[in-house]
Amino acid sequence: MPPLYILLGGLLLFSSLHTTSLSATARGDTLAAGEALAASDKLISRNGKFALGFFQFQQSPGTTSKSPNTNTNTTSSSLGWYLGIWFNKIPVFTNVWVANREKPITDRELKLAQLKISGDGNLVIMLSNASTESIIWSTTGIVFTSTNNTSAVLMNNGNLALKPETSSNEVPLWQSFDYPTDVGLPGAKIGRNKATGFNHQFISKKSLIDPGLGSYSVQIDTNGVLLLRSRKPPFVVYWSWPSGKLAELVSALNALLDMDPRTKGLLKPTYADNDKEVYFTYTLLDESASVFVPIDITGQLKLKVWSQATESWQNIYAQPSYFCTTYAVCGPFTVCNGNASPFCSCMESFYQKSPRDWELDDRTGGCARNTPLDCTTSNKSTTSSTDVFHPIARVSLPYDPRRLDDATTQSSCAKACLNDCSCTAYAYTNSICSVWHGELLNVNQADGNGITSQDVLYIRLAARDLKSFTRDNKRIPIVVIVVTCSASLGFLIMLVLLLMIWRNRFKLCGAPLHGIQGTGGGIVAFRYTDLCHATRNFSERLGGGGFGSVFKGVLSDSTTIAVKRLDGARQGEKQFRAEVSSIGLIQHINLVKLIGFCCGGDKRLLVYEHMLNGSLDGHLFQSNAAVLSWSTRYQIAIGVARGLLYLHKSCRECIIHCDIKPENILLDASFVPKIADFGMAAFVGRDYSRVLTTFRGTAGYLAPEWLSGVAITPKVDVYSFGMVLLEIISGRRNSPEVHSSSGYHVTYFPVQAISKLHDGDLQSLMDPQLQGDFNLHEAERVCKVACWCIQDNEFDRPEMVEVVRALEGLQEFDIPPMPRLLAAITQSSDAASL
């Protein structure tokens, strides 16, 4: 069962492509029998929080829509008009329910459209003119016994309820909460009526501008299992919570909500399973807040809270936490990478079927071939093909493989696929031949987080689409070699010229920066005068270190930044190259984002995203800092571990940070950790054969092998991370100097931690500021991981992939032994104190 995570950051543009007019005529909160709601009218709940009326979607993202009672025209063409409910007081138009989601109203029909209660008591959208009436949408089609006394009321919780006015029964005849679209509001249920079989489910919308039935649904099935799955065949479940354990989900969500200051005391999840129904819902404890739970276009179930400070929706929680886990989220012949932006990309020699749909977050259409395959089968069942295979490395293999037991080698596996005109790819892993026919779905790139597969997929391409390949048992013609070499030489000369021009343009430093040529991911080359203006001449200092100082600044677009000004020509130059070369090439939620740099004359500056909560050491060791709760500390530990795993495993070259310590772990506004300060980072080969001769790191966090002269591996970061974990647990430095009545000695906390772990006395290790408020099982898990990480021998330490799994509760560690070096320190300290 996947664990729960917080998916933080990023704004979902649910309705930024459409708005409604503020000049629409308000009709109160009730539509009575005999009345009609026209396109220029709207109902508003008594508390003013929700509105119901007609609104319009548009084709072009980023444009403003129009409403029927305004004179403002737009250049984009509309897809249609819908009756729906939205948050009335929030400036970002956010729709939470749609009536006619599969049958939009055209511009021509809009002037005839009305919402009213029909003669049989149903709520209907009707097109009425002098001679005819036609129904666009109705509630359920059931004929109610009450007719003239029926009214529709927009409730304070956003529920549209159809009620008989003369009845004292609080149960409505019909309500929108029973027929949700893609959003669950507080009080709405997701579940099943056991007697009638009626199912409350959410179904994602198609795109940002089309609220029609999308690709994914969330529901509780007949066995009581909460499912996120594809809506259409094949019905693939990509996340679930088992029957009988939904109460545990409630407990986990409560812990998650209490941990986040934005949701603490805001919501109360509830689960019920009785003779009549089984359902999951949540209650809003603060009526002034705005909250909703959508199933996203991409199939993720999210919790979103409105932030008045930023005037935006904040993502609090998402499941599944990894975007690429969702079934076929990128469509056929695509590769999904959770660390890339955008997440989805076409395979080589494929193109987007509908670029417009991709822009609107609907990528399920996927990609198509540039060139059809060359494969024919004669009457004698012999196959002729000039197609070739192209490898895609480090991916999870596609959905629905077919195993070929007769193909016992990779060459026979490839041949079997090539001889079948419907075969589109093959893989040969662990001596098993797998082939795929038709579309390839769920090919996900290893990203060091949710996707860790190292398999190789061989996709079938037309020969002329492959830029370079070698045909088995055939020699490449000389003319091809000559043409290829000439073209390569010309390209190389052109590249050198471009680099020289680029270097002169931005006055980059004496030697080329490792990897900077490939940073085209948005890193900005700033002018020194611009950074002076942004920082008000470097007036607000945030902190500093051995390489220089960090200043707060604000760009012209109001982005808050942190500018590191490097001091010292030699040291500053070295760190400048290291940081731009390493973090300039990578992006991860747990790595600080490099926005840009400045390199002119003797000026060396690095521009980072600003971290509102500073560095971890300030919160752990400064007496005037706010105390971090255990839940926050635990999530910080997991986040740092994921960031290191990405550096070690998911980059083109393994990156060793070399200086992991609390000062280099920054915390954003939500206390999400970001690894920073890559000035000592090193690129090494995957065989770790490169020996780092320059001493790197900080005393107290250095692995023993730094002094031994052996080849440095990522295990030095593992060691440092173990020390940081011990400091997160204790709230104290790992080796403070202590004076006592018996004299002066050094108390080395790691020794004490392992000893207490062996004795089962974990309570005495915990930070006293927690006042005993921590999860003992999680604390023991963190302590075990930390003590394994600081073992003397690097081969005894776990890799970061094991560390992440252990911290997430997916792998168990035994109690570690006392490292010999730590034992020697203890004996030496004891002897000195005698």
User: Closest Cα partner for 91 from 22, 158, 44?
Assistant: 22
Residue 535 token pair? 């920082």
Q: What is the C-alpha separation between 43 and 26, in angstroms, rounded?
A: 6
Is 767 among the catalytic positions?
no
Residue among 827, 763, 828, 809 at smallest CA distance from 4: 809
Of 361, 387, 420, 659, the catalytic one is: 659
Helices and strands in the chain, H and E counts: 14, 49
Q: Is 245 annotated as a binding residue?
A: no
Instruction: Select from 366, 298, 361 the least CA-distant residue to 334.
Output: 366
Handedness of CA 601, 604, 607, 612 (dihedral sign): negative
Q: Do the Cβ atoms of 608 and 593 come closer than 8 Å? A: yes
Structure token pair of residue 128: 């009425």
Q: In the beta sheet, which residues pair with residue 220?
A: 226
CB contact set of 63 (below 8 Å; sequence gap of 6+): 17, 74, 75, 76
Nearest-angstrom CA–CA distance, 701 and 723: 6
Strand-pairing partners, residue 357, are none
Paired tokens of 779: 């604390």
CB 749 within 8 A of CB 642: no
Strand 202-207 vs strand 210-220: parallel, antiparallel, or unpaired?
antiparallel
Give residues with Cβ within 8 angstroms of 308, minimum separation 6.
none
Which pair of structure tokens corresponds to residue 664? 């280099």
Coil vs helix vs strand at 190: strand
CB 818 within 8 A of CB 755: yes
Count Cα neighbours of 147 within 13 Å in the Cβ-side half-sphere: 5
Bridge partners for 600 per DSSP: 603
Q: Is the peptide bond before 342 cis (omega within 30 degrees of 0)?
A: yes
The residue among 513, 527, 649, 626 whose CA lies nearest residue 580 is: 513
Strand locations in 647-747 (E)? 654-656, 665-667, 673-675, 682-684, 737-740, 743-746
Q: Which of 701, 715, 696 minimizes the C-alpha distance to 660?
A: 701
Q: How far apart are CA 789 and CA 799, in angstroms?
A: 9
Please list the residues that pair with 58 across neighbouring strands.
Answer: 78
CA proximity to 454, closest of 392, 510, 538, 519: 392
Contact of 582 with 638, CB cutoff 8 Å: no
Catalytic (active-site) positions:
659
Which segments are annotated as binding site for ATP?
564
Which segments are annotated as binding site?
564
